[in-house]
Amino acid sequence: MTFSISAHDPQSKARTGILTTDHGPIQTPIFMPVGTAGTVKAVHQRELEQDIKAEIILGNTYHLYLRPGLDVLSKAGGLHRFNGWNHPILTDSGGYQVYSLSNTRKIQEEGVTFKSHIDGSKHQFTPENVMDIQRTIGADIIMAFDECTPYPCDYSYARRSMEMTHRWLDRCIDRFDSTEGHYGYRQFLFPIVQGSTYPDLRKQSAEVIASKERTGNAIGGLAVGEPAEEMYASIALVNEILPADKPRYLMGVGTPANILEAIALGVDMFDCVMPTRNARHGILFTTEGVINIKNEKWSRDFSPVDPGLEGYASQFYTKAYLRHLIKAEELLAAQIASIHNLTFYLWLVRQAREHIAAGDYVSWKNEMVVKLMQRL
- Residue ranges of the binding site for substrate: 92-96, 146, 194, 221
Binding residues for a second copy, per CB under 8 A? 37-39, 41-46, 63, 67-68, 71-72, 75-76, 81-84, 299-300, 302, 312, 316-318, 320-321, 324-325, 327-328, 330-332, 334-336
Is 22 marked active-site?
Answer: no
Catalytic residue from among 9, 51, 92, 140:
92
CA 371 – CA 172 distance, rounded (Å): 42
Note the residue count of the chain. 376
Please count the other Cβ atoms lying within 10 Å of the Cβ belonging to residue 249: 25
Residues paired with residue 321 on neighbouring β-strands, in sequence order = none
**Smallest gap from residue 33 Cβ to a second copy (A):** 13
CA 191 – CA 172 distance, rounded (Å): 9
Residue 336: CA count within 13 A, CB half-sphere: 27
CB-nearer residue toward a second copy: 60 or 258: 60
**Smallest gap from residue 348 Cβ to a second copy (A):** 23
Residues 6+ apart with CB under 8 A from 16: 5, 6, 7, 27, 28, 29, 352, 353, 356, 357
CB-nearer residue toward a second copy: 270 or 321: 321
Catalytic residue from among 51, 140, 268, 271:
271
**Smallest gap from residue 82 Cβ to a second copy (A):** 6
CB-nearer residue toward a second copy: 97 or 165: 97
CB-nearer residue toward a second copy: 144 or 339: 339
DSSP letters, 178-202, are: T---SSSS--EEE-EE--TT-HHHH
**Smallest gap from residue 285 Cβ to a second copy (A):** 19
3-state secondary structure 80-116: HHHHCCCCCEEECCCHHHHHHHCCCEEECCCCEEEEC
Helix, strand and coil percent figures for the chain, each rounded to 5:
45, 20, 40
**Smallest gap from residue 187 Cβ to a second copy (A):** 22
The H helix count followed by the E strand count for the chain is 15, 17
Please count the other Cβ atoms lying within 10 Å of the Cβ belonging to residue 272: 23
Annotated binding site: 92-96, 146, 194, 221
> Taking a C-beta distance cutoff of 8 angstroms, is the pair 83, 35 a contact?
yes
Q: 287, 289, 283: which is closest to 322 by C-alpha?
A: 283
CB-nearer residue toward a second copy: 44 or 53: 44
Residues paired with residue 142 on neighbouring β-strands, in sequence order = 91, 189
Is 200 marked active-site?
Answer: no
CB-nearer residue toward a second copy: 182 or 371: 182
**Smallest gap from residue 332 Cβ to a second copy (A):** 5
Residues 6+ apart with CB under 8 A from 44: none
Catalytic amino acids? 92, 271
